[in-house]
C-alpha cells in the first residue's frame, strides 16, 4: 500500500528502491535478467537483461504484446525456470544459492502460481486439484487440507463444482480452479499468468476484486494481462517489449474492482 500511495511517476528503480526500503522489504529483486532459448543453431533472446524490484504488498501488472517475454519472466519469478544470466533475489535470498529442494519448498509454501494454460490434473476432481499443493506440505493435516481446498473454491465461486473433473468444467471454470489452487497454500506472493484471460467481464472483475482483497491483506501480486482495464486495478504497471522493459509506472488512480462490478449492468451476467 505505501507504494500505491506514492504519486511519483517512476522510471528509476534507484529512487523507487530508496523510497520503499523505509516502509517495506523487497520481495522480488531481479537484476540484468536474461533468458535465452537455444533451439538447434538458433537462439531466441526471450529476456534481454531486465531489472526491477517489487516490494511486499505491491500489485503489479505486467503487460506487453504476445511473445514479449511475460510468461518467461513470470516462470523465473515463480522459481519454475532458471535465468540464463543475471540475478534473482526472492525475499532477500539469491535463487542461485537455493537447492532444488529449497526451491520446491518456496514454491510450495510461499508462491501461488497461476498458469496461462491452467495445468490441471486430468481426470481429477476440482477439489483434489486444489488440494494438490497441500499434499506436499506435511504440516497440513488431511482435514485441514480438505477445508482449505473447499474454502479456496468458494472464494472463486465454484462451491458447487467440487467434484467435477476438468473435462466437466468450462474453460473459465478450469481457470478458476487453477486460481483456487494458487490460493490454497496461503502464499505471500501470487504470480498470475493471464488469470482472467478466459473469463467474461463480470467474472474477471469478481476475480480482480478477490485479488484486491488479498492484496489488502498484504499479499504481493504480479499479474500478467493483455487487458488495459485490468491494469487499472493494480498499483503498478510494467510493460515489456521484445524482452526489454519499455515502461514501468505507478498507477495513481487505482480503481476498485468491487465498485466497477457494481456498476456493471445486471443483464451482463
Ligand X SMILES: Nc1ncnc2c1ncn2[C@@H]1O[C@H](COP(=O)(O)OP(=O)(O)OP(=O)(O)O)[C@@H](O)[C@H]1O
Residues forming contacts to ligand X in the complex (CB under 6 A) are 37, 39, 44, 46, 64, 66-72, 116
Does the footprint of another protein cover residue 108 (CB under 8 A)? yes
Residues 6+ apart with CB under 8 A from 172: 198, 199, 200, 203
Helices and strands, counts by H and E, the chain: 10, 10
Stretch that binds another protein, among 7-15, 40-48, 87-95, 106-114 (CB under 8 A): 106-114
Residues 6+ apart with CB under 8 A from 21: none
Cα 235 from Cα 1, distance rounded (Å): 8
Rounded least distance, CB 175 to another protein, Å: 15
Strands 220-224 and 236-241: unpaired
**What are phi and psi for residue 42, nearest 5 degrees?**
-90, 140
Does the footprint of another protein cover residue 107 (CB under 8 A)? yes
Beta strands in 8-84 (DSSP E): 26-39, 42-55, 59-64
Binding mask 107-146 for Mg ion (x = CB under 5 A): ---------x------------------------------
Task: Single out the residue of 115, 205, 223, 233 in contact with another protein (rule: CB under 8 A).
Answer: 115
Residue 75 or 212 having the CB closest to Mg ion = 75
Please report, as residue ranges, which positions from 138 to 197 form the binding site for another protein (by CB under 8 A).
138, 181, 185
Interhelix angle for 126-135 vs 142-155, to 10°? 130
Binding mask 81-100 for another protein (x = CB under 8 A): xx-----------------x
Residue 57 or 133 having the CB closest to another protein = 133
Residues that bind Mg ion (CB under 5 A): 71, 116
Amino acid at each position: 500500500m505505501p507504494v500505491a500511495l506514492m504519486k511519483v511517476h517512476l522510471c528509476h528503480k534507484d529512487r523507487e528502491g530508496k523510497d520503499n526500503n523505509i516502509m517495506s522489504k523487497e520481495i522480488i529483486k531481479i537484476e540484468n535478467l536474461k533468458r535465452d532459448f537455444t533451439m538447434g543453431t538458433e537462439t531466441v533472446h526471450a529476456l534481454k537483461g531486465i531489472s526491477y524490484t517489487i516490494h511486499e504488498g505491491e500489485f503489479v501488472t505486467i503487460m506487453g504484446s504476445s511473445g514479449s517475454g511475460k510468461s518467461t519472466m513470470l516462470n523465473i519469478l515463480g522459481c519454475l525456470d532458471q535465468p540464463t544470466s543475471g540475478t534473482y533475489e526472492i525475499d532477500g535470498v539469491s535463487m542461485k544459492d537455493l537447492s532444488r529442494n529449497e526451491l520446491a519448498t518456496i514454491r510450495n509454501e510461499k508462491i501461488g502460481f497461476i498458469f496461462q494454460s491452467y495445468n490441471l490434473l486430468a481426470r481429477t476432481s476440482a477439489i483434489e486439484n486444489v488440494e494438490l499443493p497441500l499434499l506436499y506440505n506435511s504440516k497440513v493435516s488431511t482435514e485441514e487440507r480438505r477445508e482449505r481446498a473447499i474454502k479456496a473454491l468458494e472464494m472463486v465461486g465454484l462451491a458447487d463444482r467440487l467434484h467435477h473433473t476438468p473435462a466437466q468444467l468450462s474453460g473459465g471454470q478450469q481457470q478458476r480452479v487453477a486460481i483456487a489452487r494458487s490460493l490454497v497454500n496461503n502464499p505471500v506472493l501470487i504470480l498470475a499468468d493471464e488469470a482472467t484471460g478466459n473469463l467474461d467481464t463480470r467474472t474477471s472483475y469478481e476475480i480482480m476484486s478477490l485479488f484486491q482483497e488479498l492484496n489488502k491483506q498484504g499479499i504481493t501480486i504480479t499479474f500478467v494481462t493483455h487487458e488495459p482495464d485490468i491494469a487499472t486495478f493494480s498499483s503498478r504497471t510494467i510493460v515489456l517489449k521484445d524482452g526489454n522493459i519499455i515502461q514501468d509506472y505507478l498507477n495513481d488512480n487505482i480503481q476498485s474492482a468491487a465498485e466497477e462490478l457494481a456498476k456493471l449492468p445486471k443483464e451482463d451476467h
